[in-house]
Structure 1
C-alpha cells in the first residue's frame, strides 16, 4: 500500500472515529455553567427563548446529526468558497475623539468600535479555526482585518454567547494577558471564561452595568476624565436575542445568549451577536434604551439547507434590514459573513442580497453598507432614517442564487 493510500485510510478512520465521538462522548461532556432561580427564560437547568424554541429545519428526512456527519466527511454539498480572501489589515488609531466614533470590521462578528475614548471589541476571534477540535471544523478564509499586534489597548469586550466562532478562548487569553479588559457577557458564559483564568461579568437580559462599576467605583459615580482616553464613562445593557448556546452538544442552553447596547458619550452602539428572528420584538426593546448611532447586525450563515431564506437561529439579509428599521438605527455594519464557511450560501450571497433588500426598503446603501474585512468607517452622527414605501421584486432574489 502506498503512503498516500495509508494516509487516506488513516484520515478516514479518524473521521469515522470523530463521527462516533459525536454520538458517544457528549453525554459525558455536559456542564453546568449557571445555577439560579427559574425565570421567564430559564427553567432551573436550561435557558430557552420565551418567544419559541429554535427548531431544526431542513429537507424532508434531514437531521442535525446527519448534517454534522456529512460536514465532517466533506459531503455536505455546500457551495464552494474561495480558499483565501485578500485582506489589507487596518492600523487603528489609539482612540477616537470624545464625540467621535470609528468602527473597523475585523471579520465575522468581531468589530473594533472606538467611541468617546474607549476601545470596544465584539466577540473577538483571531484563531484560524472556529472549532473545539482544530484543524477539524470551519477554517478562516480571510485573515483578521487588524493584526493582534496592531490592535489598540482594549477597554471593553462583549461576548454574546458560547459558540466557538463567538467565544474563542485562545484569543481571549491573549487579550486578557495583554490589556486586562473588562468583559461583559450573559449568564453562564462567565463560568467558561473563569475556568480559563479570564474574569468576566455576566448579566441577565434587562440588566446593565456601568463602566464605573466595572472599574471598582460606585455604580452611579460621576466620571471625570481629562482627555477621555480609556475613560470608563459608559454603560453596558444586556438585551434579548433569539438564539441558543452550546460548547459540546449536550451542554445545550446551559448558558444564555444576548445582544447588547453600549451607551457612550458619543452615542449608543447596538451589537446583535448572533440571532434568529423570533418574535422580532427584541430590536424594539433595544431601541427603547435610546437612539442608536451604530448597529452591528448579522447577515450570514442563514441557510442550513439549500434554498433556505433563513433559519430559526440566524437572520438573513431580509430580516437584517427589518431589524435595522425596528432599531431605528442611524448607521449599521453587516457582520457574521465572509470569514468562516458555516452554511449553504455562497461567499458573497449575504452582501448581494442585503443590497437588494435595502433598495426594496428605500434605505440608502451607505446606511448599511457591506465593508471589506479590515475596512474602517467614521460613523456619522445620529440622524433618523426616512421611512419609505417598501417595493420589492422577489424575482431579483432568484437571480442571486
Structure 2
C-alpha cells in the first residue's frame, strides 16, 4: 500500500509542531467557521451511498476535449495562459514560466486500483507530452490532489516541487529527491531557482490525510504563483473564510483566480466552497478572472456531475464576474475575457476518448474502503 504515503518525521514533524494550528496531536483549523456554512442538521452521506450513486453523477458520454500541444508551442500573447487538464490539474504559463498544479493522471482518486472514484475520461494529453515544467505545486495530500502514479512518473524528471509542510514526506517516500522539494507554511514564499517565479502558501480551511491514522498530520494550503507581471491564486480545497481578505491585501491583486466549485454538500460547508461560496470567496479576493476547478473529472460527492458549473453559471452576475470556462485541454488567456460557452452541454464525443462509468461495488467493498480512509475523501 505504497500509495498511502509516509507520515512526517524528524525535522518535518518538529516544524509542524511549531505551527499555531498544532493542538498537541494534529493540525486543526483555528479560524472561526462563518455562520451558516455548515448545516448541522444535514446528515452526512454514507460512503456506501457515495460509492453506489446513480448515473447522474457521471457524464452520459465523454466531454469535449482539446489537444493543447500545438498551442503550447507558441508563447501566450498576454504572458498568462491556463490549460485546465481536469479536476484541479492546470498547466499555468506565467511570464515565461510553467507551473503544474495538483497533477493527477491516475485512473482513481483512491489508493486502490479497483475501488474508489474513477475519472470520467483520460486526461487530454499524456504526462510525457507536457512541455518542460518549471515547478509542480501541490496544495495538500488528498488523493484527488496528490496522486501516487503521477508522482512516481514525475520522479524520473528533474522538476522541483513546492508544497505544504509535511507533504514532502510522501514525495520522498515515492522517489522525489529531497533537494527537489520545498515545503511551505502559510505566508511563506519561495523563489524557484533559475526562474522569475515566486510561489507563496496561504491559508485555507480544510483537512488532510490519506488514511485513518494520519488525519491532519500535514498542512493544507492555498497557493499564489507570481511572475514578473502576473499573479494567479489557486484555492486548493477550502471552505469560505474571511482570511481571503488578508490574502488579497498581502498577495493580490490577481489576474486569475482558480477556485474549487465541486464536491460540495451542506454538511461539508466548512471545508468545501461550492459554487455560491466560490463567488463569495472571489469577491473577498478582490476579483480577477475566475476559473472554476475541482469539477468535471471525479464523482466525489452525491450531487450531479454538472451541478457545480451549472449553479456557478446561474449565480454569477456577468456584469460583475468574469468567468473563464475553457474546455478540457483548451489553453486560454484570461485577458481575452471570452464569452462563456456551455460546452459541457453539447453531448458531442471527444474524438475516441472512452467514457468511464462509476463502479457499483458490493457493500463489503464499500465497508473495506470506509475502514481505511477518512471521509469525506477530499
TM-score (norm 1): 0.73
In the alignment, structure 1 segments of 5+ residues that lack a partner are: 1-27, 216-230, 383-401
1:2-401 to 2 correspondence within 5 Å? 31-32=7-8, 34-36=12-14, 37-52=17-32, 62=43, 67-72=46-51, 74=52, 76=53, 79-82=56-59, 84-86=61-63, 87-91=65-69, 92-94=71-73, 96=75, 100-178=79-157, 180-199=158-177, 200-211=181-192, 215=193, 232-277=195-240, 279-303=241-265, 308=266, 311-359=269-317, 362-364=319-321, 367-380=322-335
TM-score (norm 2): 0.78
123-132 or 146-155, larger mean C-alpha shift: 146-155
In the alignment, structure 2 segments of 5+ residues that lack a partner are: 338-378
Which runs of 4 or more aligned residues in structure 1 lie more than 4 Å from their structure 2 counterparts after TM superposition? Answer: 52-60
Instruction: State how many pairs are aligned.
Output: 323
Provide the C-alpha distance between the structure 2 equivalents of 1:246 and 1:95, rounded to a whole number of angstroms.
39
Provide the C-alpha distance between the structure 1 equivalents of 2:185 and 2:55, rounded to a whole number of angstroms.
36
Local SS of the residue matching 1:288 = helix
Could you tell me how far 1:362 is from its partner in structure 2? Answer: 3.8
Provide the C-alpha distance between the structure 1 equivalents of 2:299 and 2:123, rounded to a whole number of angstroms.
15
Provide the C-alpha distance between the structure 2 equivalents of 1:238 and 1:162, rounded to a whole number of angstroms.
14
Could you tell me whether the CA contact under 8 Å between 1:78 and 1:345 is conserved in 2? Answer: no
Local SS of the residue matching 1:35 = helix
Aligned-residue RMSD, C-alpha: 2.8
Local SS of the residue matching 1:351 = helix
Provide the C-alpha distance between the structure 2 equivalents of 1:374 and 1:265, rounded to a whole number of angstroms.
25
After superposition, give the CA deviation of every residue in 1:62-113 in whole Å (9 maximum; x if it has no partner). Answer: 457xx124445x2x56844225423333214246359611100000000000
Provide the C-alpha distance between the structure 1 equivalents of 2:5 and 2:229, rounded to a whole number of angstroms.
44
Query: Which structure would you say has the larger RCO, counting Cα contacts within 8 Å and 6 or more residues apart?
Result: 2
